Protein backbone atom coordinates (compact mmCIF):
# COMPACT_ATOMS: atom_id res chain seq x y z
CA UNK A 1 0.00 0.00 0.00
CA UNK A 2 1.22 3.49 -0.81
CA UNK A 3 1.77 5.08 2.63
CA UNK A 4 0.45 8.53 3.54
CA UNK A 5 1.79 11.12 5.98
CA UNK A 6 0.25 11.04 9.45
CA UNK A 7 -0.39 14.76 9.85
CA UNK A 8 2.83 16.56 10.72
CA UNK A 9 4.34 13.69 12.75
CA UNK A 10 6.84 12.63 10.10
CA UNK A 11 5.36 9.10 10.27
CA UNK A 12 3.55 7.39 7.42
CA UNK A 13 0.52 5.12 7.73
CA UNK A 14 -1.27 2.85 5.27
CA UNK A 15 -4.44 4.23 3.64
CA UNK A 16 -6.28 1.17 4.95
CA UNK A 17 -5.68 0.49 8.63
CA UNK A 18 -7.31 -1.91 11.08
CA UNK A 19 -9.92 -1.05 13.69
CA UNK A 20 -9.63 -3.34 16.72
CA UNK A 21 -12.77 -2.72 18.75
CA UNK A 22 -13.75 -6.25 17.65
CA UNK A 23 -10.66 -7.63 19.45
CA UNK A 24 -11.91 -6.17 22.73
CA UNK A 25 -15.63 -6.59 23.20
CA UNK A 26 -19.09 -5.52 22.03
CA UNK A 27 -19.07 -7.61 18.84
CA UNK A 28 -19.55 -11.10 20.29
CA UNK A 29 -16.59 -13.28 21.20
CA UNK A 30 -13.27 -13.22 19.29
CA UNK A 31 -10.69 -15.72 20.61
CA UNK A 32 -7.08 -14.76 21.31
CA UNK A 33 -5.89 -16.97 18.47
CA UNK A 34 -8.31 -15.33 16.06
CA UNK A 35 -7.29 -11.87 17.28
CA UNK A 36 -3.59 -12.56 16.70
CA UNK A 37 -4.42 -14.03 13.28
CA UNK A 38 -6.36 -10.87 12.32
CA UNK A 39 -3.42 -8.67 13.35
CA UNK A 40 -0.91 -10.87 11.49
CA UNK A 41 -3.00 -11.06 8.30
CA UNK A 42 -3.40 -7.28 8.26
CA UNK A 43 0.32 -6.65 8.68
CA UNK A 44 1.18 -9.27 6.06
CA UNK A 45 -1.13 -7.41 3.66
CA UNK A 46 0.54 -4.05 4.25
CA UNK A 47 -1.51 -2.48 7.06
CA UNK A 48 0.67 -0.19 9.19
CA UNK A 49 -2.02 1.47 11.36
CA UNK A 50 -3.92 -0.17 14.23
CA UNK A 51 -6.70 1.78 15.95
CA UNK A 52 -7.56 0.71 19.49
CA UNK A 53 -8.77 2.18 22.81
CA UNK A 54 -8.17 1.64 26.51
CA UNK A 55 -11.80 0.60 26.95
CA UNK A 56 -12.04 -2.03 24.19
CA UNK A 57 -12.51 -5.11 26.35
CA UNK A 58 -11.24 -3.00 29.26
CA UNK A 59 -7.72 -3.12 27.81
CA UNK A 60 -7.89 -6.51 26.07
CA UNK A 61 -7.53 -5.02 22.58
CA UNK A 62 -4.51 -2.91 23.64
CA UNK A 63 -2.89 -5.84 25.48
CA UNK A 64 -3.27 -8.18 22.52
CA UNK A 65 -1.70 -5.58 20.24
CA UNK A 66 1.11 -5.05 22.78
CA UNK A 67 1.85 -8.78 22.90
CA UNK A 68 1.64 -9.10 19.13
CA UNK A 69 4.02 -6.21 18.42
CA UNK A 70 6.46 -7.22 21.19
CA UNK A 71 7.26 -10.23 19.04
CA UNK A 72 7.97 -8.07 15.98
CA UNK A 73 10.80 -5.63 16.76
CA UNK A 74 11.18 -2.91 14.13
CA UNK A 75 7.59 -3.56 13.02
CA UNK A 76 6.87 -0.05 11.68
CA UNK A 77 3.25 -0.19 12.85
CA UNK A 78 1.65 2.97 14.25
CA UNK A 79 -0.76 2.27 17.10
CA UNK A 80 -3.42 4.89 17.67
CA UNK A 81 -5.16 4.38 20.99
CA UNK A 82 -7.85 6.40 22.78
CA UNK A 83 -8.50 7.56 26.31
CA UNK A 84 -11.27 9.27 28.23
CA UNK A 85 -14.05 6.74 28.61
CA UNK A 86 -12.87 5.03 31.77
CA UNK A 87 -14.89 7.64 33.68
CA UNK A 88 -18.14 9.47 33.03
CA UNK A 89 -17.85 11.85 30.07
CA UNK A 90 -17.99 14.93 32.31
CA UNK A 91 -15.67 17.87 31.53
CA UNK A 92 -14.24 17.84 35.08
CA UNK A 93 -12.84 14.32 34.52
CA UNK A 94 -10.54 15.45 31.69
CA UNK A 95 -7.74 16.54 34.05
CA UNK A 96 -3.95 16.40 33.56
CA UNK A 97 -3.79 13.79 36.35
CA UNK A 98 -6.35 11.54 34.66
CA UNK A 99 -4.66 11.99 31.27
CA UNK A 100 -1.43 10.83 32.90
CA UNK A 101 -3.04 7.83 34.61
CA UNK A 102 -4.96 6.76 31.51
CA UNK A 103 -1.93 7.06 29.22
CA UNK A 104 0.27 5.20 31.75
CA UNK A 105 -2.18 2.31 31.70
CA UNK A 106 -2.15 2.26 27.88
CA UNK A 107 1.67 2.35 27.85
CA UNK A 108 1.70 -0.72 30.10
CA UNK A 109 -0.92 -2.53 28.00
CA UNK A 110 0.88 -1.73 24.77
CA UNK A 111 4.33 -2.40 26.31
CA UNK A 112 5.84 0.90 25.13
CA UNK A 113 7.47 3.89 26.82
CA UNK A 114 5.88 6.38 24.42
CA UNK A 115 2.45 5.96 22.84
CA UNK A 116 2.50 6.74 19.11
CA UNK A 117 -0.83 8.55 19.06
CA UNK A 118 -3.56 9.04 21.67
CA UNK A 119 -7.01 10.24 20.67
CA UNK A 120 -9.48 11.69 23.15
CA UNK A 121 -12.36 9.23 22.90
CA UNK A 122 -15.39 11.29 21.89
CA UNK A 123 -15.21 13.75 24.78
CA UNK A 124 -17.89 16.39 25.47
CA UNK A 125 -17.86 19.44 23.19
CA UNK A 126 -16.73 21.65 26.09
CA UNK A 127 -13.54 19.57 26.41
CA UNK A 128 -12.82 19.82 22.67
CA UNK A 129 -13.28 23.59 22.76
CA UNK A 130 -11.24 24.17 25.95
CA UNK A 131 -7.64 25.27 25.22
CA UNK A 132 -6.43 23.81 28.56
CA UNK A 133 -7.23 20.34 27.20
CA UNK A 134 -4.48 20.77 24.64
CA UNK A 135 -2.09 22.30 27.20
CA UNK A 136 -2.40 19.10 29.26
CA UNK A 137 -1.83 16.93 26.17
CA UNK A 138 1.19 19.06 25.21
CA UNK A 139 2.61 18.29 28.67
CA UNK A 140 2.28 14.55 28.02
CA UNK A 141 4.16 15.01 24.75
CA UNK A 142 6.89 17.03 26.51
CA UNK A 143 7.19 14.29 29.14
CA UNK A 144 7.63 11.64 26.45
CA UNK A 145 4.53 9.67 27.48
CA UNK A 146 2.88 10.23 24.10
CA UNK A 147 4.35 11.21 20.75
CA UNK A 148 1.22 12.83 19.33
CA UNK A 149 -2.46 13.34 20.06
CA UNK A 150 -5.77 13.67 18.27
CA UNK A 151 -9.49 13.72 18.92
CA UNK A 152 -12.16 11.19 18.04
CA UNK A 153 -15.45 13.04 17.55
CA UNK A 154 -19.13 12.40 16.94
CA UNK A 155 -20.10 15.52 14.97
CA UNK A 156 -18.70 17.65 12.17
CA UNK A 157 -18.90 20.73 14.42
CA UNK A 158 -16.67 18.97 16.97
CA UNK A 159 -14.26 17.96 14.20
CA UNK A 160 -13.93 21.56 13.04
CA UNK A 161 -13.30 22.72 16.63
CA UNK A 162 -10.53 20.12 17.08
CA UNK A 163 -8.93 20.91 13.72
CA UNK A 164 -8.60 24.54 14.83
CA UNK A 165 -6.09 23.57 17.57
CA UNK A 166 -2.56 23.73 16.20
CA UNK A 167 -1.00 20.60 17.76
CA UNK A 168 -3.80 18.19 16.92
CA UNK A 169 -2.40 15.41 14.73
CA UNK A 170 -5.61 13.69 13.72
CA UNK A 171 -9.36 13.72 13.93
CA UNK A 172 -11.25 10.45 13.85
CA UNK A 173 -14.82 10.66 12.56
CA UNK A 174 -17.54 8.45 11.12
CA UNK A 175 -17.38 8.76 7.34
CA UNK A 176 -18.86 6.30 4.86
CA UNK A 177 -21.43 6.21 2.02
CA UNK A 178 -24.19 6.50 4.64
CA UNK A 179 -22.53 9.50 6.36
CA UNK A 180 -21.45 12.11 3.81
CA UNK A 181 -21.49 15.30 5.87
CA UNK A 182 -17.70 15.29 6.52
CA UNK A 183 -17.29 15.94 2.77
CA UNK A 184 -18.87 19.39 3.18
CA UNK A 185 -16.40 21.11 5.52
CA UNK A 186 -14.40 18.67 7.65
CA UNK A 187 -12.26 17.02 4.98
CA UNK A 188 -11.33 20.34 3.28
CA UNK A 189 -10.54 21.97 6.66
CA UNK A 190 -8.38 19.03 7.76
CA UNK A 191 -6.49 18.99 4.49
CA UNK A 192 -5.84 22.74 4.69
CA UNK A 193 -4.61 22.44 8.30
CA UNK A 194 -2.43 19.36 7.75
CA UNK A 195 -4.56 17.34 10.18
CA UNK A 196 -4.95 13.63 9.42
CA UNK A 197 -8.44 12.17 9.16
CA UNK A 198 -9.18 8.59 10.23
CA UNK A 199 -12.53 7.40 8.82
CA UNK A 200 -14.16 5.06 11.32
CA UNK A 201 -17.24 2.83 11.06
CA UNK A 202 -16.52 2.75 7.30
CA UNK A 203 -18.78 -0.24 6.69
CA UNK A 204 -21.61 1.16 8.83
CA UNK A 205 -20.97 -1.64 11.38
CA UNK A 206 -21.23 -4.22 8.59
CA UNK A 207 -24.37 -2.90 6.82
CA UNK A 208 -22.10 -1.99 3.91
CA UNK A 209 -20.79 -5.54 3.75
CA UNK A 210 -23.92 -6.19 1.71
CA UNK A 211 -24.42 -9.59 3.35
CA UNK A 212 -27.10 -8.81 5.94
CA UNK A 213 -30.81 -9.40 5.38
CA UNK A 214 -33.94 -8.50 7.32
CA UNK A 215 -33.52 -11.87 9.04
CA UNK A 216 -29.94 -11.23 10.25
CA UNK A 217 -29.55 -11.27 14.03
CA UNK A 218 -26.58 -10.44 16.27
CA UNK A 219 -25.35 -11.85 19.57
CA UNK A 220 -26.85 -10.45 22.74
CA UNK A 221 -23.48 -8.95 23.76
CA UNK A 222 -23.06 -7.30 20.32
CA UNK A 223 -23.84 -3.55 20.21
CA UNK A 224 -25.82 -4.18 17.03
CA UNK A 225 -28.36 -5.90 19.30
CA UNK A 226 -28.30 -3.56 22.28
CA UNK A 227 -27.43 -0.09 20.91
CA UNK A 228 -29.61 0.23 17.81
CA UNK A 229 -31.38 3.21 19.29
CA UNK A 230 -28.44 4.63 21.25
CA UNK A 231 -29.34 2.85 24.50
CA UNK A 232 -25.67 2.55 25.66
CA UNK A 233 -23.68 5.08 23.63
CA UNK A 234 -24.12 7.42 20.67
CA UNK A 235 -26.59 5.91 18.21
CA UNK A 236 -24.31 6.91 15.33
CA UNK A 237 -21.74 4.26 16.37
CA UNK A 238 -24.17 1.45 15.53
CA UNK A 239 -24.99 1.08 11.82
CA UNK A 240 -23.79 4.67 11.50
CA UNK A 241 -27.13 5.75 12.94
CA UNK A 242 -29.02 4.38 9.92
CA UNK A 243 -32.29 2.48 10.31
CA UNK A 244 -31.49 -1.19 9.61
CA UNK A 245 -34.15 -1.67 6.92
CA UNK A 246 -33.23 1.57 5.12
CA UNK A 247 -29.56 0.58 5.27
CA UNK A 248 -30.29 -2.84 3.73
CA UNK A 249 -32.08 -1.20 0.79
CA UNK A 250 -29.37 1.42 0.27
CA UNK A 251 -26.55 -1.16 0.49
CA UNK A 252 -28.31 -3.39 -2.01
CA UNK A 253 -28.60 -0.51 -4.49
CA UNK A 254 -24.91 0.34 -4.12
CA UNK A 255 -23.91 -3.30 -4.60
CA UNK A 256 -26.02 -3.30 -7.75
CA UNK A 257 -23.86 -0.71 -9.52
CA UNK A 258 -20.62 -2.65 -9.02
CA UNK A 259 -19.01 -4.80 -11.71
CA UNK A 260 -18.84 -8.57 -11.29
CA UNK A 261 -15.97 -9.45 -8.97
CA UNK A 262 -15.88 -6.18 -6.99
CA UNK A 263 -17.36 -6.49 -3.51
CA UNK A 264 -19.33 -3.72 -1.81
CA UNK A 265 -16.99 -3.53 1.23
CA UNK A 266 -13.91 -3.30 -1.01
CA UNK A 267 -15.49 -0.59 -3.19
CA UNK A 268 -16.62 1.29 -0.08
CA UNK A 269 -13.17 1.24 1.53
CA UNK A 270 -11.47 2.33 -1.71
CA UNK A 271 -14.03 5.13 -2.18
CA UNK A 272 -13.45 6.41 1.37
CA UNK A 273 -9.66 6.18 1.18
CA UNK A 274 -9.65 8.07 -2.11
CA UNK A 275 -11.62 11.10 -0.86
CA UNK A 276 -9.26 14.10 -0.58
CA UNK A 277 -8.46 14.80 3.05
CA UNK A 278 -8.79 11.20 4.25
CA UNK A 279 -5.53 9.78 5.58
CA UNK A 280 -6.66 6.31 6.57
CA UNK A 281 -9.83 4.26 6.74
CA UNK A 282 -9.97 1.87 9.70
CA UNK A 283 -12.42 -1.01 9.12
CA UNK A 284 -12.94 -3.42 11.99
CA UNK A 285 -12.48 -7.12 11.22
CA UNK A 286 -13.65 -10.11 13.21
CA UNK A 287 -11.71 -12.74 11.29
CA UNK A 288 -8.79 -13.24 8.93
CA UNK A 289 -10.98 -13.35 5.84
CA UNK A 290 -12.40 -9.90 6.56
CA UNK A 291 -9.00 -8.46 7.53
CA UNK A 292 -7.44 -9.76 4.35
CA UNK A 293 -10.14 -8.60 1.98
CA UNK A 294 -10.23 -5.16 3.61
CA UNK A 295 -6.47 -4.68 3.22
CA UNK A 296 -6.70 -5.93 -0.35
CA UNK A 297 -9.26 -3.23 -1.14
CA UNK A 298 -6.23 -0.95 -1.44
CA UNK A 299 -5.66 -2.57 -4.82
CA UNK A 300 -8.71 -0.67 -6.08
CA UNK A 301 -6.76 2.51 -5.32
CA UNK A 302 -4.21 1.55 -7.98
CA UNK A 303 -0.82 -0.10 -7.80
CA UNK A 304 -2.41 -3.50 -7.08
CA UNK A 305 -0.94 -6.93 -7.62
CA UNK A 306 -1.85 -9.34 -10.37
CA UNK A 307 -4.54 -11.18 -8.37
CA UNK A 308 -6.86 -8.20 -8.21
CA UNK A 309 -5.77 -6.46 -11.38
CA UNK A 310 -8.88 -7.39 -13.36
CA UNK A 311 -11.25 -6.28 -10.57
CA UNK A 312 -9.35 -3.03 -10.25
CA UNK A 313 -9.57 -2.42 -13.99
CA UNK A 314 -13.33 -3.00 -14.02
CA UNK A 315 -14.08 -0.84 -10.98
CA UNK A 316 -15.09 2.72 -11.89
CA UNK A 317 -14.52 4.94 -8.83
CA UNK A 318 -16.26 7.96 -10.38
CA UNK A 319 -19.38 5.93 -11.20
CA UNK A 320 -19.46 4.51 -7.67
CA UNK A 321 -19.04 8.04 -6.26
CA UNK A 322 -22.04 9.21 -8.27
CA UNK A 323 -24.11 6.27 -7.02
CA UNK A 324 -23.07 6.95 -3.40
CA UNK A 325 -24.34 10.54 -3.64
CA UNK A 326 -27.53 9.60 -5.43
CA UNK A 327 -28.41 6.83 -2.97
CA UNK A 328 -27.53 9.04 0.03
CA UNK A 329 -29.66 11.91 -1.22
CA UNK A 330 -32.66 9.68 -1.86
CA UNK A 331 -32.53 7.38 1.22
CA UNK A 332 -30.49 9.03 3.94
CA UNK A 333 -29.71 12.74 3.73
CA UNK A 334 -32.88 13.95 5.40
CA UNK A 335 -32.51 11.67 8.44
CA UNK A 336 -28.73 11.69 8.82
CA UNK A 337 -27.29 14.99 7.62
CA UNK A 338 -28.77 17.24 10.37
CA UNK A 339 -27.75 14.95 13.25
CA UNK A 340 -23.97 14.57 13.15
Ligand X SMILES: NC(=O)c1ccc[n+]([C@@H]2O[C@H](COP(=O)([O-])OP(=O)(O)OC[C@H]3O[C@@H](n4cnc5c(N)ncnc54)[C@H](OP(=O)(O)O)[C@@H]3O)[C@@H](O)[C@H]2O)c1
CA distance 162 to 181: 16
CA distance 1 to 299: 8
Nearer to ligand X by Cβ, of 51 and 192: the residue is 51
Q: CB 269 → ligand X: shortest distance, Å?
A: 8
Q: CB 142 → ligand X: shortest distance, Å?
A: 25
Q: Assign 50 to helix, strand or coil.
A: strand
- Torsion on CA atoms 118, 103, 122, 164, rounded to nearest 10: -50
Nearer to ligand X by Cβ, of 147 and 170: the residue is 170
Q: DSSP class of residue 12?
A: E
Could you tell me the CA-to-CA distances from 253 to 247, 256, 325 in Å, in that order? Answer: 10, 5, 12
Nearer to ligand X by Cβ, of 19 and 247: the residue is 19
Q: Name the E strands within 186-278.
A: 196-200
Q: CB 200 → ligand X: shortest distance, Å?
A: 3
Q: CB 282 → ligand X: shortest distance, Å?
A: 5
Nearer to ligand X by Cβ, of 11 and 209: the residue is 209
Nearer to ligand X by Cβ, of 122 and 193: the residue is 122
Q: CB 170 → ligand X: shortest distance, Å?
A: 11
Nearer to ligand X by Cβ, of 74 and 217: the residue is 217
Nearest partner of 77 among 12, 21, 1, 146, judged by Cα: 12
CA distance 31 to 298: 27
Residues that bind ligand X (CB under 6 A): 19-22, 27, 51, 82, 121-122, 152, 172, 200-206, 209, 211, 237, 265, 282-286, 290, 293-294
Q: CB 298 → ligand X: shortest distance, Å?
A: 13
Q: CB 262 → ligand X: shortest distance, Å?
A: 12
Q: Name the E strands within 218-289.
A: 280-281
Q: Assign 312 to helix, strand or coil.
A: helix
- Spatial contact of 263 and 288, defined as CB atoms under 8 Å apart: no
Nearer to ligand X by Cβ, of 192 and 221: the residue is 221
Q: Assign 198 to helix, strand or coil.
A: strand
Beta bridge partners, 16, equal 281
In the chain, DSSP finds a helix count (H) and a strand count (E) of 14, 10
Amino acid sequence: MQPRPLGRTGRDVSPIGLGTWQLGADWGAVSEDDAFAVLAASVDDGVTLFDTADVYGDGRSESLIGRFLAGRPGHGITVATKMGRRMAQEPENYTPENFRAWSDRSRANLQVDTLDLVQLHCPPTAVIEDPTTYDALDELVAAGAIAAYGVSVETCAQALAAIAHPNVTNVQIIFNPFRLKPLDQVLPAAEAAGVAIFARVPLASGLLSGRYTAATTFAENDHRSYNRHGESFDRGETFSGVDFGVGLAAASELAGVLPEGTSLPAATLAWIASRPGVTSVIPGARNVRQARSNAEAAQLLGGGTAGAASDAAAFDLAAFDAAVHEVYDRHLREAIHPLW
